[in-house]
């Protein structure tokens, strides 16, 4: 297979994965709209009162405590766990979704079928404190150009600690729809007036390329030596038969 063929296969695979992520995202959004329309979400009061999940009918607060690690289960607990696991897979094996539980309960719920319970006021306050207390320095951000399944390109920012763009589906302003990310290319610092970050990145990439080149040179030299040795041995006269 040629290098061009490998690249074509890689691009085709990336597009398939982006389309799959886009479809899963659309599926989740349709489910959220269905829950809103049908009144599937529990209120905080209903959740705390022990109402069952309106998505599957199973309890959310089952009072059984947290699930022990598998290695610490008794034979009876393991048998019950295996039976519950088989039952869950029978009901949700095709849902392609996460599972969730709440603290102090063991009943597992499906992320596609079961809306998670609302957070408490304290939980909202804790999240708000984290969000509003941290201000991101734009000098710590990088710009990324994302090519989407619709072939439009959008520019997004992300913290420099990320080596890959972390979101698989984003909103396309041209289409007005959420689209899968086929390719993500890091452009460079969002704000770097002195060019320091860009120079550091280029220096790191140069060191990496030089190290790769050195490995290739060593491999080439080793191969050349093998060819020389083989050629020298092939020129030696064979011993005469006695």
Span of 49-53, 145-149, 200-204 with lowest mean pLDDT: 200-204
131 within a domain of the structure (yes/no): no
239 within a domain of the structure (yes/no): no
pTM: 0.67
Residue-wise DSSP of 150-189: TS-EEEEEEETT-SS---SEEEETTTTEEEEEEEEEEEEE
* One domain for residues 12 and 108: yes
100 within a domain of the structure (yes/no): yes
Higher pLDDT, 151 or 2: 151
Structural domain span for residue 8: 3-122
Within the chain, residue ranges assigned H as helices are: 3-38, 44-48, 75-92, 121-133, 196-235
Higher pLDDT, 47 or 189: 47
How many domains are contained in the chain?
Answer: 3
**Per-residue pLDDT tens for 199-236?**
877 887 888 889 889 999 998 999 998 888 888 887 76
* One domain for residues 107 and 149: no
217 within a domain of the structure (yes/no): yes
134 within a domain of the structure (yes/no): no
Structural domain ending residue among the three candidates 122, 152, 180:
122
């Amino acid at each position: 297979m040629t290098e061009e063929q490998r690249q074509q296969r890689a691009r085709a695979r990336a597009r398939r994965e982006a389309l799959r992520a886009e479809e899963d995202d659309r599926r989740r959004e349709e489910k959220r709209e269905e829950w809103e329309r049908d009144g599937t979400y529990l209120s905080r009061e209903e959740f705390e009162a022990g109402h069952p999940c309106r998505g599957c009918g199973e309890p959310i607060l089952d009072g059984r405590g947290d699930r022990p690690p598998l290695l610490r289960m008794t034979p009876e607990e393991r048998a019950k766990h295996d039976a519950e696991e088989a039952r869950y897979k029978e009901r949700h094996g095709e849902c392609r979704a996460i599972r969730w539980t709440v603290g102090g309960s063991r009943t597992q719920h499906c992320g596609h079928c079961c809306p998670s319970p609302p957070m408490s006021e304290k939980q909202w306050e804790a999240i708000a404190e984290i969000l509003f207390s941290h201000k991101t320095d734009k000098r710590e951000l990088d710009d990324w150009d994302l090519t989407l399944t619709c072939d439009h390109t959008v520019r997004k920012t992300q913290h420099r600690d990320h080596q890959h763009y972390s979101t698989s589906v984003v909103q396309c302003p041209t289409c007005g729809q959420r689209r899968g990310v086929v390719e993500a290319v890091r452009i460079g610092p969002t704000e770097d007036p002195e060019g320091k970050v860009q120079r550091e990145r280029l220096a790191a990439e140069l060191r990496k390329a030089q190290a790769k080149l050195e490995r290739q040179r060593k491999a080439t030299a080793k191969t050349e030596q093998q060819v020389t040795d083989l050629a020298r041995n092939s020129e030696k006269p064979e011993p005469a038969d006695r």
